[in-house]
Structure 1
């Protein structure tokens, strides 16, 4: 019985010893194959590139900061780039703002620009294109769903050289810049001031001292009048009455 157990142990040990080199040789064959050599060279290249990048950033921190800022800014512009739905939402919001105003006080430039965009949108001619970091809104000749030969033929589509003439807005960093610039002072109708002299058509904002003086006068107007103020006002009224009476007596004493 003991001899049987010893023989079994020897057989198991021999089997384990035989299996270990086989596994090791298989792993070695995998490492020495073409795929293994390619993966090892690729990992070595990435490791060397990362090491050079870290060493270069440590030796030239200003250059690394500039490159990092440019890459981060490009990524921020790419992910914050507005799309067609955001342009339509901004357009409808501006249209609602103008709709709340009377036609007599709307800015003609803002109203005309928004109304033209709304018309193109209703006709299906307002299109959008993405150019990586920016987005462009442009006008087309036809709605893409129209069953016309001119609208469906790819050879008659809008050529790239005409895109600058058809461009309506530029989307960059989450804003549509032309639409925002056209909506500046949208509640000021400049046609109302055309009859005024030239020096009155353009007014400059008040300075800090003027604003402080106006605010001080506004706050003082809400305060109750004091006894001294009433006395001063009474004296001024008496003085005015005396002046008026003296003038009237002088006129009476003057011979005709």
Structure 2
């Protein structure tokens, strides 16, 4: 029997109760087929009514579809703890490849602080589905102080927002990306008019003058 004939036979069996032999009617097989047939009909009715409602209320339907689509995309692109530590390591490497005196001091300070927290085991990631929260704990996992283990002296849950150091959404960690913006440019190196700052210590201590000639 070809595949097409098998499909047609199954569809006929599914749609009609008469395909069940008389000796099996009222038995377990008929109950199972009837159960799944009812489920299929229910889903079919819901789909038909939903399509009809979408045609009658296109604006409302568009809003719902947009919300559902956005939620699905947020869940699919939600970064986790592994992605955060990977991006933090990349940030540290990028800064190491830039000369110490021309690094952006804000980027260097922020990344050094986060790297220190990570090394101490004080960062904890909370995945809430559509986004992730990277929070700072008061102590690392190896600390056995009273304040680190007693729940009565720990921060209240209403102060949880104060521990958030970064928010992950759409595959990126917002604060970390902001910290690495223009990481290879030191604002003190240039004046407001775009000219090099002669008071900047890099040029003051350098062996190369403005015209690229050795002093």
- Give secondary structure in 2 for the equivalent of 1:201: coil
Which residue does 1:168 correspond to in 2? 165
- For 1:131 and 1:25, the matched residues in 2 are separated by 48
Deviations 1:171-227 (A, max 9, x none): 00001111111111111222344xxxxxx42549xxxxxxxxxxxxxxxxxxxxxxx
Matched, 1:65 2:66: no
- For 2:174 and 2:101, the matched residues in 1 are separated by 26
Matches within 5 A, 1:64-213: 64-154=61-151, 157-193=154-190, 200-203=191-194
CA RMSD of aligned residues (A): 2.9
The alpha carbon displacement at 1:95 in A equals 0.8
Which residue does 1:26 correspond to in 2? 27
- Give secondary structure in 2 for the equivalent of 1:186: coil
- Give secondary structure in 1 for the equivalent of 2:101: coil
The alpha carbon displacement at 1:44 in A equals 4.5
Relative to the length of structure 1, the TM-score reads 0.59
Which residue does 1:243 correspond to in 2? none
- For 1:21 and 1:97, the matched residues in 2 are separated by 76
- Are the aligned partners of 1:105 and 1:189 in contact in 2 as well (CA < 8 Å)? yes
The alpha carbon displacement at 1:21 in A equals 4.8
- Give secondary structure in 1 for the equivalent of 2:45: helix
- For 1:155 and 1:39, the matched residues in 2 are separated by 54
Q: 2:48 aligns with which of 43, 48, 51?
A: 51
- Give secondary structure in 2 for the equivalent of 1:104: helix
- Structure 1 residue ranges without an equivalent (≥5): 1-19, 194-199, 205-256
User: Quick one: higher RCO (CA 8 Å, sep 6+), 1 or 2?
Assistant: 2
- Residues paired across the two proteins, number: 175
- For 1:84 and 1:188, the matched residues in 2 are separated by 29
Q: Which has the higher helix share?
A: 1
- For 2:152 and 2:36, the matched residues in 1 are separated by 47
